[in-house]
């Protein structure tokens, strides 16, 4: 019999979220900051899927997976727009580091 | 067997996530992208263990397929080799590690001590049929809104990628 409960999945999710937050804070490369954002979204997805698996009431228990479905779709759109922004910035500044993008004027 | 698979997949996910953020061997974004693919695949394995088969398939298809191809394409498009190594400020590393480590400790201790999963049994069987039925009845409006969002994103990307920005 399995003894992996909800807590185990939530701990893995929290660890992944912290790693993504660390990358978003520490790294200076815009692409790696974006990958860290993806990591955080994936951690949230893991938490949602595990909540939808471990649920005491039987009705309406698929909603977590539907939420994850929408998050994946929105994340794909967000990545497309964000990478287009990075490419446009790179054309202007010839750099993809956050330190070089510290002024408001283009 | 399921427990062993859980530990393997979660260790793989956390290790590869660490490699995405702080790779001690290489600062190349391509390496980070490859480790992100590994993280995503091991997360899909965890989804299969949670009986969310459709979500696992979508995860592999959309993330490991489409999104990562986009990432690699942009990495290859921007030639970032020239500015690979820069020194990171020690102050930033210490404060960042401290705050994020504190947050992680807080989250994990709270989850572990709150007993959030006590008395809960894994009830949901991952029925793709149920998911589709709910998606197209109860969640039909969000589904259509998401399609509009994708259209808007597509138009925006085309506009942003044009040569001269007005």
Reported ipTM: 0.89
CA nearest neighbour of A37 among A48, A22, A15: A22
Which pLDDT does position A1 carry in this prediction?
Answer: 42
Chain segment A42-61, per-residue pLDDT in tens: 999 999 998 888 876 666 67
Query: What's the angle, vertex CA A93, arms to CA A90 and CA A99, rounded to 5?
Result: 95
Q: What is the rounded average pLDDT of the residues A66-84?
A: 92
**H/E segment holding residue B20:** helix B2-21
B 72-131 near A (Cβ less than 8 A): 74-75, 77-78, 80, 83, 86, 88, 92-93, 96-97, 99-101, 103-104, 107-108, 111-112, 115-117, 119-124, 126-127, 130-131
What is the rounded average pLDDT of the residues A6-19? Answer: 91
What does CATH list as the number for B1-82? 1.20.120.1200
- Average pLDDT estimate for A77-86: 91
For residue B46, which residues of chain A lie inside 8 Å, CB to CB?
A: 9, 12, 46, 49
Mean pLDDT, residues A71-97: 87
Residues present in chain A in total: 106
Answer yes or no: do B142 and A62 touch at CB < 8 A: no
Each residue's pLDDT expressed in tens, for chain B with a length of 166 residues: 788 999 999 999 999 999 988 877 777 888 889 999 999 999 999 999 988 889 999 999 998 888 999 999 888 888 766 555 566 678 888 998 999 999 999 999 998 888 776 767 776 666 788 888 888 999 999 999 999 999 999 999 999 888 765 5
Give the residue extent of every domain in chain A: 6-101
Task: Specify the pLDDT at position A81.
Answer: 93
CA distance A45 to chain B (A): 9
A97 beta partners = A29
Q: How confident is the model at residue A2 (pLDDT cuts 50, 70, 90)?
A: low
Which long-range contacts (C-beta less than 8 Å, at least 24 apart) are formed by B93-102? B93/A26, B96/A22, B96/A25, B96/A26, B97/A22, B97/A26, B99/A25, B100/A18, B100/A21, B100/A22, B100/A25, B101/A18
Q: Do A14 and B108 touch (CB under 8 A)?
A: yes
| CB B143, CB B136: distance < 8 Å | yes
Shortest Cα distance from A74 to chain B (angstroms)? Answer: 7
How far apart CA B26 and CA B111 sit, in angstroms, is 34
DSSP state of A94: S
Taking alpha carbons only, the member of B49, B48, B50, B16 closest to residue B34 is: B16
B161/B166 Cα distance (integer angstroms): 12
Architecture of domain A6-101: Orthogonal Bundle (1.10)
Cβ atoms of A17 and B17 closer than 8 Å:
no
| A residues 77-106 lying closer than 8 A (beta carbon) to B | 77-81, 83-88, 90, 95-97, 99
Residues of A in contact with B41 (CB under 8 A): none
Spans of all domains in chain B: 1-82, 127-166
What is the average pLDDT value for chain A, to the nearest integer?
Answer: 85
Nearest chain B alpha carbon to A2: B3
Q: For chain B, what's the residue count?
A: 166
């Amino acid at each position: 019999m399995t003894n992996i409960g909800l807590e185990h999945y939530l701990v893995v999710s929290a660890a992944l979220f912290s790693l993504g937050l660390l990358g978003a804070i520490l790294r200076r490369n815009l692409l790696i900051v974006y990958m860290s954002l993806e990591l955080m979204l994936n951690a949230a997805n893991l938490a949602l899927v595990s909540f939808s698996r471990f649920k005491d009431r039987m009705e309406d228990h698929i909603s977590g997976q539907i939420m994850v479905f929408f998050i994946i779709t929105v994340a794909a759109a967000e990545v497309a727009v964000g990478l287009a922004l990075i490419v446009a910035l790179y054309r202007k500044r010839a750099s993809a580091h956050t330190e070089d993008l510290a002024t408001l004027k283009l | 067997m399921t427990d062993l698979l859980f530990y393997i997949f979660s260790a793989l996910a956390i290790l590869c996530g660490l490699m995405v953020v702080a790779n001690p061997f290489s600062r190349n974004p391509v390496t980070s992208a490859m480790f992100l693919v590994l993280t995503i695949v091991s997360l899909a394995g965890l989804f299969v263990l949670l009986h969310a088969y459709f979500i696992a398939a979508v995860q592999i298809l959309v993330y490991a397929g489409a999104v990562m191809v986009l990432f690699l394409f942009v990495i290859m498009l921007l030639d970032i080799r020239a500015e690979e190594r820069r020194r990171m400020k020690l102050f930033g590393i210490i404060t960042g590690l401290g705050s994020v480590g504190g947050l992680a400790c807080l989250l994990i201790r709270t989850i572990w001590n709150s007993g959030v999963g006590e008395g809960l049994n894994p009830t949901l069987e991952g029925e793709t049929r149920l998911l589709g039925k709910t998606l197209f009845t109860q969640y039909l409006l969000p589904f259509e809104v998401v399609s509009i969002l994708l259209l808007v994103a597509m138009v925006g990307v085309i506009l942003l990628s044009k040569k001269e920005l007005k």
